[in-house]
Amino acid sequence: MSAHAAPRTPTAPARPPSGFPVGFYRYRNYILFAATSLFMALGCIGLLEGLHALGKGEAAWNGFLARMARPHNLVLSVVVLGFTLYFVIRFAWVGRKIGAGRIGPVPRPPLPMPLLGVAPIGGFVTVWLVLLAILGGLLL
Amino acid sequence: MELRKVKFEVLRFRPGQDVEPVFETYEVDCMEDWVVLDALNAIKDDIDPTLSHRWSCRMGVCGSCGMLVNGRPVLTCAAFVRNYSGTIRVEPLSNFPIVRDLVVELDSFVEKIRSVKPWIIRKLEKDVGEGEYRQSPEQLEEFKQFSMCINCALCYAACPVLANEPEFVGPAAIALAHRYNLDSRDEGNAERFPVLDSHDGVYACSFANECSQVCPKHVDPAMAIQQAKLTDFLEWARILPKRSFT
């Protein structure tokens, strides 16, 4: 800054968006959408435990089923299912924007366009299933 | 024409006088066809000449008069007073420091826009004698909606990510970058890539979608950001050819 530069005007700090994070319904939906990750992670932990029990034999599997039949686990499962359904619905609503007729100034890829949306998600799910199968002792 | 008395709560911040922004209430006789900007001008002209606010074209083109009206980012020249009931609360755009009253500091916004190089970049300029760069209507259609941005910064005021991460490049800048990346005449995507792919680039967006909801020109920045993410992913996965850096 030169010696003759005007001093910087004092400013008031930026304010967060009005109604953020839970005072406005669209922000509430967004926060709820983000919160689904916690509940889906819980579901995944349960799934991992089940796969692990499956790999250890019938007794372990039956024990897992008995634990899952307890009332609090049933309630948790319903909550996880609810959040998962909410995630899927919102993702389907906002995710439709991801598909593009043409993506970037690059040659049109050889895959049919619908596959461009399915391929990454399908790949992600496949990797997860393989990983879970390995962890569950079904593979390797 | 019949006048209606409307109460306005306007956030005031006078540097050197106010420690922090405070609301002041004004009662304005509004005509039926007035927009909020008309009421603000009436306050400045007839009630309190010290009130500061930005405006220019009065027809939703220049993007200068963006403010929060009852908490939502809008162009005040397009927000009719008759569409609001009760007291109308007017505040400066959120996520920006306040210079004075309803005027915010847009330096960071302008710098972010500049960082994505929103202009046509050619590796080798054609000689003027070779004629213009031609484009078909189909090629235009691919990016046209993203070119409708008027840089009003409403999307920045609505973005919850920016509230937590002020360095996020933001919706308008990414939409503009995407607009030029989709332009058949442009060859500068590799130059924009480092900004879009940076820590504060497209992946900082967690898809709240609020930017697209508030855009007065119906641009869909959320779409641009997700498409840019997908392009990046497909290049990383080698489904699309990797861009070479210039």
Residue B43 has pLDDT above 70, yes or no: yes
Which chain A residues have a beta carbon less than 8 Å from that of B163? 16-17, 20
Using DSSP, state whether B158 is helix, strand or coil.
Answer: helix
The residue whose two tokens read 């497909």 is B234
* Confidence band of A107 (pLDDT split at 50, 70, 90): very low
Q: What's the confidence (pLDDT) of residue B125?
A: 87
Among partner residues A15, A27, A103, which is closest to B227 by beta-carbon distance?
A103
Residue B235 has pLDDT above 80, yes or no: no
Q: State pTM to two decimals.
A: 0.82
- Quote the tokens at residue A64: 């897992």
Residue A1 has pLDDT above 70, yes or no: no
- Interface size between A and B, measured as CB pairs under 8 A: 123
Which ipTM did the prediction report?
0.83
Which chain B residues have a beta carbon less than 8 Å from that of A30? 160, 206, 208-210
Domain boundaries, given as residue ranges, for chain A: 25-95
Separation in Å, CA of A115 to nearest CA in chain B: 11
Q: Which residues of A touch B (CB under 8 A)?
A: 9-21, 24, 26-27, 30, 34, 94-95, 97-98, 100-107, 109, 111, 116, 119-120, 123
Instruction: Show the domains of chain B with their CATH numbers.
Output: 3-104 (3.10.20.30), 107-236 (1.10.1060.10)
Under CATH, which architecture does the A25-95 domain have? Up-down Bundle (1.20)
Tens-digit pLDDT profile for residues B163-204? 999 999 999 999 999 999 989 999 998 899 899 999 999 999
Q: Do the Cβ atoms of B68 and B90 come closer than 8 Å?
A: yes
Residue B22 has pLDDT above 70, yes or no: yes
**C-alpha to C-alpha distances, A124 to A44, A86, A109, A121, B10, nearest whole angstrom:** 14, 20, 20, 5, 50
Q: Considering only alpha carbons, which residue of chain A is nearest residue B89?
A: A18
Q: What's the confidence (pLDDT) of residue A95?
A: 67
Which of the 8 DSSP states describes residue A22?
T
Among partner residues A12, A17, A106, which is closest to B98 by beta-carbon distance?
A12
Q: Name B184's Cβ contacts closer than 8 Å, sequence gap at least 6.
A: A105, B135, B136, B139, B142
Q: How many CB atoms lie within 10 A of CB B211?
A: 30
Least confident of A28-32, A94-98, A105-109, B140-144: A105-109
Taking only Cα atoms into account, the Rg of chain B, rounded to an integer number of angstroms, comes to 21
Report the mean per-residue pLDDT for chain B. Answer: 93
Q: What residues of chain B, 47 to 106, have a C-beta less than 8 Å from chain A? A: 68, 71-73, 91-92, 94-100, 104-105
Nearest by Cα to B37 from B70, B22, B59: B59
Top pLDDT among A105 and A78 is at A78
Which chain B residues have a beta carbon less than 8 Å from that of A103? 227, 230-231, 234, 240
- Quote the tokens at residue B206: 């967690």
Tens-digit pLDDT profile for residues B143-174? 898 999 999 999 999 999 999 999 999 999 99
